[in-house]
């Protein structure tokens, strides 16, 4: 270090005093020179260790007063900058710096790789720029136009097919000593299923061939959420270890961890991907949600409401991409304007933590699950219009999922139930109940496959179960 600067009128002034402190490692006088000589000869041990070997060299000298430039440089690690679509909209919104670090060990002035800013401090965020807001708005307009022309695809599985769904297969994907699947997502274009496990790993499974493609290891605690970003072969995983990992997949099925995101201070409970596939949001028990640029892994904003002490347990983007829904530990569903990051509505009425939320494809309905069952909300009038109390008071509802067409709703608790979507006034009829075959009494997550032609179900054992019609059943055709 050559000096310390002081803040004056918004600028840091470095004094020009000739009394600049010179690193002790370059002082070649007397015993100092001998200390450094032995430090080099012995392969750069710590000066504290050297003082124990040669106490005579450190008479009237403190071991921590010595420093070695070679040791400092050897502790540096390479950090690369990945290509990013993020474009700063104002000066100093994004700064790349290699002036110091990264170093895994703090230096004499307590600087380190993690950028510890001390207790109570908050990290500066670039924010969601005007260009990003314009991109989100443009996406919203395009999706709204498509929705006006929306028709139910002719390839969608009909009601009479779902009525005869049965278990087709069961696949042990996770470890026996820590069983349980906590999250499921499906790449609909490839029929690849991702599962997040209690065993701290995520597994990619080819549903068509029945083959495990890859096991993603790296988290130190259970994986609470997995999401595909299909066009770019990217998988996102969130964990109780407070981190989010961005995995880059390849055609041979292998995945490399591209980023480890450490912006949360408590369990990451949910991940949701924006319709642009360029951004995603994470929600955590630390009472914040983060908006990320996917390509860089940069957190553009971390939203914290000072009036809210509730941790977030679930999150989902509205199909149009300008609304975000979050579930909380205290039975409230909060609706956010993505552009302003403001809380625009709250839905109360549940008992217990919100375990899952899902928006319907038409954007009119929101399904929320909690300990007391499932509630359906009319987003046009912001009110609850139907509730399902499905299980006893000791059995929570763990998962809800609208299929991609918005025609069916699946609910998971002590079993899995499939409803045909109605309207605010028309009934939502249960067309199929699938028993929990895990023996645990807890179906933890459920997801519709392409065209609702199968259901992927996770439970508190280690098996992924696929439900559908047996091969060759002609009644799949509508």
pLDDT by residue (tens digit) across 371-424? 999 999 999 999 999 999 988 888 889 999 999 999 999 999 999 999 999 999
pLDDT by residue (tens digit) across 155-170? 999 999 999 999 999 9
In this predicted structure, the answer to whether residue 16 has a pLDDT above a threshold of 80 is no
pLDDT by residue (tens digit) across 36-54? 888 988 889 988 888 888 8
**According to the model, what pLDDT value does residue 90 have?**
64
In the chain, CATH 2.130.10.10 sits at 130-476
Q: Provide the mean pLDDT of the chain.
A: 85
pLDDT by residue (tens digit) across 317-329? 999 899 999 999 9
| Cα–Cα distance for residue pair 105/280, rounded to 1 Å | 32
**According to the model, what pLDDT value does residue 34 have?**
85
Model confidence, pTM: 0.75
Specify whether the CB–CB gap between 327 and 333 falls below 8 A. yes
Question: If you average pLDDT over residues 111-137, what whole number do you get?
Answer: 68
| Cα–Cα distance for residue pair 192/15, rounded to 1 Å | 61
**According to the model, what pLDDT value does residue 470 have?**
86
The model's confidence at residue 232, banded by pLDDT at 50, 70 and 90, is: confident
pLDDT by residue (tens digit) across 256-299? 999 999 999 999 999 999 999 999 999 999 999 999 999 889 99
- Residue 364 phi, psi (nearest 5): -90, -30
Q: Which position has the higher pLDDT, 454 or 126?
A: 454
CB atoms within 10 A of CB 471: 7
In this predicted structure, the answer to whether residue 89 has a pLDDT above a threshold of 80 is no
In this predicted structure, the answer to whether residue 112 has a pLDDT above a threshold of 50 is no
In this predicted structure, the answer to whether residue 101 has a pLDDT above a threshold of 50 is no
**According to the model, what pLDDT value does residue 103 have?**
47
**According to the model, what pLDDT value does residue 115 have?**
43
In this predicted structure, the answer to whether residue 63 has a pLDDT above a threshold of 60 is yes
**According to the model, what pLDDT value does residue 394 have?**
81
% of the chain surpassing 70 pLDDT: 83
- Which CATH number is 130-476 given? 2.130.10.10
């Amino acid at each position: 270090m050559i000096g310390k600067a002081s803040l004056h009128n918004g600028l840091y002034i470095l004094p020009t005093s000739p009394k600049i402190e010179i690193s002790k490692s370059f002082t070649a006088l007397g015993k100092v020179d001998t200390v450094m000589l032995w430090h080099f000869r012995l392969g750069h041990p710590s000066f504290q260790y050297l003082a124990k070997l040669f106490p005579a060299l450190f008479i009237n000298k403190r071991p921590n007063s010595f420093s070695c430039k070679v040791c400092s440089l050897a502790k540096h690690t390479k950090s690369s900058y990945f290509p990013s679509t993020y474009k700063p909209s104002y000066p100093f919104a994004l700064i790349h710096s290699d002036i110091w670090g990264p170093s895994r060990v703090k230096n004499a002035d307590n600087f380190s790789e993690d950028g510890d800013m001390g207790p109570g401090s908050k990290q500066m965020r670039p924010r969601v720029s005007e260009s990003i807001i314009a991109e989100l708005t443009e996406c919203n307009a395009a999706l709204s136009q498509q929705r006006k022309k929306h028709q139910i695809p002719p390839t969608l599985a009909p009601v009479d097919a779902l009525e005869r769904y049965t278990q087709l297969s069961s696949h042990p994907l996770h470890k026996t000593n820590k069983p349980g699947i906590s999250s499921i997502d499906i790449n609909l274009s490839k029929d690849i299923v991702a599962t997040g496990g209690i065993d701290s790993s995520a597994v990619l499974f080819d549903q068509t061939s029945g083959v495990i493609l890859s096991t993603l290891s790296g988290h130190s605690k259970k994986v609470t959420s997995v999401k595909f970003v299909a066009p770019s072969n990217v998988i996102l995983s969130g964990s109780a270890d407070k981190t989010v990992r961005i995995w880059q997949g390849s055609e041979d099925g292998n995945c490399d961890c591209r980023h480890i995101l450490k912006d949360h201070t408590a369990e990451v409970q949910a991940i949701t991907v924006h319709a642009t596939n360029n951004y995603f949001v994470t929600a955590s028990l630390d009472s914040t949600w983060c908006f990320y640029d996917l390509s860089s892994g940069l957190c553009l904003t971390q939203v914290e409401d000072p009036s809210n002490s509730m941790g977030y347990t679930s999150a989902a983007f509205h199909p149009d991409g300008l609304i975000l829904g979050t579930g909380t530990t205290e039975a409230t569903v909060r609706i956010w304007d993505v552009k302003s990051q403001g809380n625009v509505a709250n839905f109360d009425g549940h008992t217990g933590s919100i375990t899952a939320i899902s928006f319907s494809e038409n954007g009119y309905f929101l399904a929320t699950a909690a300990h007391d069952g499932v509630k359906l909300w009319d987003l046009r009038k912001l009110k609850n219009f139907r509730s399902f109390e499905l299980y006893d008071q000791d059995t929570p509802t763990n998962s809800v999922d609208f299929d991609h067409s918005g025609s069916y709703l699946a609910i998971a608790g002590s079993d899995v139930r499939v409803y045909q979507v109605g309207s605010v006034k028309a009934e939502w009829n249960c067309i199929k109940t699938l028993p929990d075959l895990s023996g645990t009494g807890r179906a933890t997550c459920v997801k519709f496959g392409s065209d609702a032609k199968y259901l992927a179900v996770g439970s508190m054992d280690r098996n992924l179960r696929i439900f559908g019609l047996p091969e060759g059943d002609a009644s799949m055709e509508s």
